[in-house]
Amino acid sequence: MHRFRFVILASAAFVLAMSVGQVLPLLSDLQDAHDLPTSTLGIVAATSFFASMLGQLLLAPVADRGHTRALLAGSMAVAALGNALFALANGLALLVVARAVIGLGLGAYLPAARALVADHDRDRAGELLGRLTSIEVAGFIIGPLFGVLLVDWFGLDGPFVFSALTTLAAVPVLLFLPLPTLSRGDESDSVTTAWRLLRRREVLVAVLFSVALQAPVGMYEAVWDIYLDDLDLGNYAVATTLALYGITFVAVAPIGGRIADRMGAIPAATATVLVIIPVTALYGQVASLFTILVLLIVEASANGAGIPAAQAAMARATEPGELATGQGLAGAAGVATAGVVALAAAPIYARYGAQTLFAATAATVAVFGMAALGLARTVSPVNPNADTNPLGADR
């Protein structure tokens, strides 16, 4: 893909991710400003997960019907609206709507951008998707810090006004950006198209790997702060661990994607799942910050390799005219799983403790990961874009 085109697509993903991430450290400020009960903060935080799922599942197929440019630009316009609603919100209802609108924009944008990147060079799909994902994650990392700084400088509305302006500014850029044309798929509705893809085993393998890799995300979202606090590690530990995880992921993802291109997307995803399973379980057995940081670096490195590998597996499992739909399907499944795990994690942690929760999450990763591997062994792709040997090296 032309470097300038990639930079624009990645920059828009960065801005979108930043607008989602900036909300997390501002929840207590929003609570005070709008006199919200503590119990409602989880609703505001989790809404974007499920809205993103709907965007990836229902809107991503629009890109496969010849409307990629309109979907990309429209996603940024929707995100701009969501941020503006945040700045205008005067209560819980509008905050939830604003969060949902931003999540919808992110969910619609990412599959289309990933499809364009992967379609440029299928043999380098892992590397290219790894680069895009690393920039997206960098936006999530910088978002919270940027949000806090803008609040200090311009007040609580500052971060949302800034994000509304930057996402809106991207709309004309994307409308006039020279973009390659994705092959057009059929005109079936989104649900029918997704169901048709899921009946293909190699697509289901990529979805299962995405679910396995995203399952721990929901657990960390729900209890990571509480877990570190119960270990008497203090608030600084939360910031340190999140920053270290993000930096490691951003550094590893492009390299991990390149490895997936060389050794095969399925073997790479399998290897990372086999690393993540014991690491996740071990969190519940340790108490020192140093040990947690070591585990976290290992896990972030594995995810940095595994997520681009899963995305590349989907790119190879889908035919021309299905790329965006496939990426949206895998993303929606992963986000939905993270949301469900987030809802279950806090009650499990409160009743049974850290050891049980981390072990259960590791078991969840193992179930989906091994299901993906087992199914992959039965796949003999006829799709020319798929791996000729799903368990071996790519072409």
Please state, in angstroms and rounded to a whole number, the distance separating the CA atoms of residues 269 and 277: 12
**Contact present, 55 and 105 (Cβ < 8 Å):** yes
Please report the DSSP string for 168-203 in residue order.
HHHHHHHHHS--PPPPP-----HHHHHHHHHTSHHH
Burial of residue 152, with CB atoms counted within 10 A of its CB: 0-12 exposed, 13-18 middle, 19 or more buried: exposed
Sign of CA dihedral 183, 185, 187, 189: negative
Q: In Å, what is the CA distance from 344 to each residue of 49, 176, 333?
A: 15, 44, 17
If you count DSSP H runs as helices and E runs as strands, how many of each does the chain have, helices first?
14, 0
Closest CA to 64 of 182, 208, 175: 182
pLDDT, tens only, 35-84:
877 667 667 767 887 888 888 888 888 887 878 888 999 999 999 999 99
Question: Of 1.20.1250.20, 3.30.9.10, 3.40.1190.20, 3.30.365.10, which CATH number belongs to 3-376?
Answer: 1.20.1250.20
Q: List the pLDDT tens digit at each of the 395 positions of the chain.
A: 577 888 999 999 999 999 888 877 777 778 788 887 766 766 776 788 788 888 888 888 888 787 888 899 999 999 999 999 988 988 888 988 998 999 999 999 998 898 888 887 777 888 888 899 899 888 888 887 788 888 889 888 899 999 999 999 999 999 988 877 766 655 555 566 677 888 889 999 999 999 999 999 888 877 887 788 888 886 677 778 888 888 999 899 999 889 988 988 999 999 999 999 999 999 989 888 899 999 999 999 999 999 999 999 998 888 877 888 888 899 889 988 888 888 788 788 888 988 999 999 999 999 999 999 999 988 754 444 444 344 344 33
| Angstrom distance (rounded) from CA 195 to CA 124 | 27
Coarse DSSP helix, strand, coil percentages of the chain, rounded to the nearest 5 percent: 85, 0, 15
Cβ contacts of 232 within 8 Å, gap of 6 or more: none
Domain boundaries, the chain: 3-376
| Residue 69 amino acid letter | R
Residue count of the chain, please give it. 395
* Residue type at 38 in one-letter notation: T
DSSP state, 64? G
Cβ atoms 129, 118 nearer than 8 A: yes
Q: Closest Cα to residue 68, out of 184, 164, 190?
A: 184
3-state DSSP assignment of residue 393 = coil
DSSP for 101-166 reads HHHHHHHHHHHHHHHHHHHH-GGGHHHHHHHHHHHHHHHHHHHHHHHHHHHHHH-TTHHHHHHHHH
CA 246 vs. chain centroid, Å, equals 13
